[in-house]
């Protein structure tokens, strides 16, 4: 992967005992789904608008036919779901994925207040 297609994200986590861990993950440059954070690298990753056109903001798993596939999911549920998927795919352990998602997902369009 070329340097242009990867970005490094550094996360800091404060444990209850006040120790701090820093970790870095390299992620594709994007675009990212503005609901779940999935990198959208191929046409089939993009959700669809009502007219069938590609959504620039959301992935096929989160957004189809101009609407969210799960209108009741909360940010906390999305963090849990995505963290489990990241672990299942062998990308990183669940706890690290959860720490990353707790910082990353609230900044996405669907969740940002």
Kindly report, residue by residue over 17-64, the tens digit of the pLDDT.
665 555 555 555 679 999 999 999 899 999 999 999 999 999 999 999
State how far the Cα of 76 lies from the Cα of 22, in Å rounded to an integer: 22
State how far the Cα of 34 lies from the Cα of 113, in Å rounded to an integer: 13
pLDDT of residue 6: 38
pLDDT of residue 3: 36
pLDDT of residue 66: 97
CA nearest 65: which of 56, 75, 52? 52
pLDDT of residue 5: 39
Mean pLDDT of the chain: 83
State how far the Cα of 29 lies from the Cα of 84, in Å rounded to an integer: 22
- Ranges of each domain in the chain: 3-107
Helix, strand or coil, per DSSP, at residue 37: coil
Tokens for 8? Answer: 């490094």
State how far the Cα of 108 lies from the Cα of 21, in Å rounded to an integer: 24
């Amino acid at each position: 992967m070329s340097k242009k297609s990867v970005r490094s994200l550094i996360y800091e986590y404060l444990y209850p005992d006040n120790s701090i861990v820093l970790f870095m993950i390299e992620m594709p440059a994007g675009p990212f789904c503005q609901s779940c954070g999935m990198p959208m690298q191929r046409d089939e990753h993009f959700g669809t608008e009502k007219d069938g056109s590609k959504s620039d903001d959301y992935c096929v798993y989160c957004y189809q036919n101009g609407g969210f596939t799960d209108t009741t999911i909360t940010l906390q549920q999305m963090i849990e779901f995505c963290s489990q998927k990241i672990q299942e795919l062998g990308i990183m352990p669940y706890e690290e994925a959860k720490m990353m998602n707790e910082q990353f997902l609230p900044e996405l369009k669907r969740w940002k207040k």
